[in-house]
Amino acid sequence: MQATEAEQNNIRHNTDPAKVVLGESGLYHKSLCDYVINVATGCSHGCKFCYVPSTPNVTARQEMLAEQAAVDDGQQEWGSYLLYRDDLPERLGRKLDRKQKWKQTARGRGVVMLSSGTDCYQDRRTAQITRGCVVELIDHGFPVRILTRSPAVVRDLDVFEWAVEQSQNQVGKLIRVGSSIPCLDEGQVRAIEPGAPSPQARLRALRTLSEAGIPVYVSMSPTYPTQTRDDFDQLLGQFADLKAEVVFHEPINPRGGNFQMTIDAAREAGETTLAKELERISNDREYWVEYSLKQMEWAEELGEKHGVDVHVWPDKQVIKSVGEKKAQELLRQRDAVSPERIATPSLPS
């Protein structure tokens, strides 16, 4: 471990020596972005279902994690290490100055997302890196999507207001800010998103931004198998009040080495109904498909009731498990472009 490594609140902090600045992303499949910037490796929120520790950014970097933060197992120890990329804004600015081409797919629309592999406002230091990156991107005329569970995002309201001003001559806006709010039950959320702020705090942050004229959206992902139609009704009513441009919805998918950890965490926290339901969708494929279809239908139906656009992300395995007609409907929903009005990137002349 290097001398700069430090431990606070049981989280090991250090720096990530990676030189990657701006990564092309496959998240255009979800109509989210064409590029991603991850301001850190690791995430102190430690959501048990998080897919990030099973991606190559963690699995292929075990040696670096051991060296920088004494991590033995990037998945098992997810939530207990955080490696910052402090010089990202500076390197990003230089990269954007030189950039001659910009990827712009029909569904990704040239958007840069911060962040898909960590929470970009989880503490002061990630927030500082994020702020610097957003300023560089907007200054160069590239659209930005923020996704965070942290209410600290409101501290950058001045930057977001400036980004909206910079979009004045465009049909769409250069900035949008979203939060992941899948469930409002504080106990269940605490059980499987143990380090993340409460859902009410996330809602309040989005409300503040929306009232200030910043475009906001919600990632209602992943919704829990214990949630009822009434829960969805309440959630979508709240998102409509926020004037969210769109609500992305996805049921939980029982895959990866972390799913048993999710079940165990729910059980250990005393959320036995949640633990039982998670176990059932993990062991019974038909039950999982049924739950997924039911929740996506509720999201669509209740989105319509509350006048909020819902964009669902059906899982590939769910699409394969249904009849031809339903599969076509799900594919249409999956391949749609989100209704957000996004500014066109300024391509180099």
Residues that bind ligand SF4 (CB under 6 A): 43, 45-47, 50, 52, 118-119, 149, 196
Closest approach of ligand SF4 to the CB of residue 51, in Å: 7
E strand map for 162-246: 175-180, 216-223
Query: What are the structure tokens assigned to 95, written together?
Result: 């990269």
DSSP 11: E
Closest approach of ligand SF4 to the CB of residue 50, in Å: 3
DSSP 342: B
Instruction: Between 184 and 327, name the residue whose CB sits nearer to ligand SF4.
Output: 184
Instruction: Between 141 and 254, name the residue whose CB sits nearer to ligand SF4.
Output: 254
Closest approach of ligand SF4 to the CB of residue 44, in Å: 8
Distance, in Å, from the CA atom of 206 to the CA atom of 53, rounded to the nearest integer, reads 27
Closest approach of ligand SF4 to the CB of residue 218, in Å: 14
Three-class DSSP category at 99:
coil
Q: Which residue has the tokens 């049981």?
A: 10
Three-class DSSP category at 53:
helix
Instruction: Between 119 and 277, name the residue whose CB sits nearer to ligand SF4.
Output: 119
Closest approach of ligand SF4 to the CB of residue 48, in Å: 8
Contact 302, 233 (CB under 8 A): yes
Taking CA 311 as the corner, what is the angle to CA 310 and CA 312, rounded to the nearest 5 degrees? 110
Helices (runs of H) and strands (runs of E) counted in the chain: 13, 12
Q: Which residues are paired to 274 by β-bridges? A: none
Closest approach of ligand SF4 to the CB of residue 189, in Å: 11
First to last CA, the chain: 46
Query: What are the structure tokens assigned to 275, written together?
Result: 């633990």
